[in-house]
């Protein structure tokens, strides 16, 4: 099971960081190589924008997961209040 957990962490890191970085590097290379040729440079700009979109989707997913954890914590606090009549941090 530990190998599976390590594989998941590597895959998650690759998706969160290395995929957008790789796409952005490809875009920058295309911009540099295509300097003076608008078609190739435009494709490079497109790749940089795609890298930004991939990064933002990953960021929004992480924010969603964090939001779910906040909701769970709030629900546990409300359950505690229902049982004891006081808020947990009072």
Q: Which two tokens stand for residue 39?
A: 């078609």
For 45-76, the pLDDT digits (tens) are 999 999 999 999 999 988 888 788 788 888 88
Q: In the predicted model, what is the mean pLDDT of the chain?
A: 87
Query: Across 6-15, 22-31, 36-45, which has the greatest mean pLDDT?
Result: 22-31
Whether 62 maps to a domain, the answer reads yes
Q: pLDDT-based confidence at 2, cuts 50/70/90?
A: low
Enclosing domain of residue 63: 2-84
| Residue count (the chain) | 90
**90 assigned to some structural domain:** no
Is the residue at 44 inside a domain? Answer: yes
Confidence grade of residue 24 (pLDDT, cut at 50, 70, 90): very high
Number of structural domains found in the chain: 1
Question: Using an 8 Å Cβ cutoff, are 27 and 51 in contact?
Answer: yes
Domain assignment present for 19: yes
Is residue 89 included in any domain, yes or no?
no
Q: What is the DSSP letter of 17?
A: I
Residue 73 domain-assigned (yes or no) = yes
């Amino acid at each position: 099971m530990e190998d599976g957990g390590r594989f998941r962490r590597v895959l998650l890191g690759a998706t969160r960081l290395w995929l957008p970085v790789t796409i952005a590097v490809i875009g920058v290379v295309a911009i540099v190589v295509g300097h003076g040729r608008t078609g190739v440079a435009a494709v490079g700009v497109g790749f940089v924008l795609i890298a930004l979109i991939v990064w933002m989707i990953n960021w929004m997913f992480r924010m969603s997961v964090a939001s779910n954890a906040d909701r769970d914590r709030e629900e546990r606090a409300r359950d505690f209040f229902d049982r004891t009549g006081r808020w947990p941090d009072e």
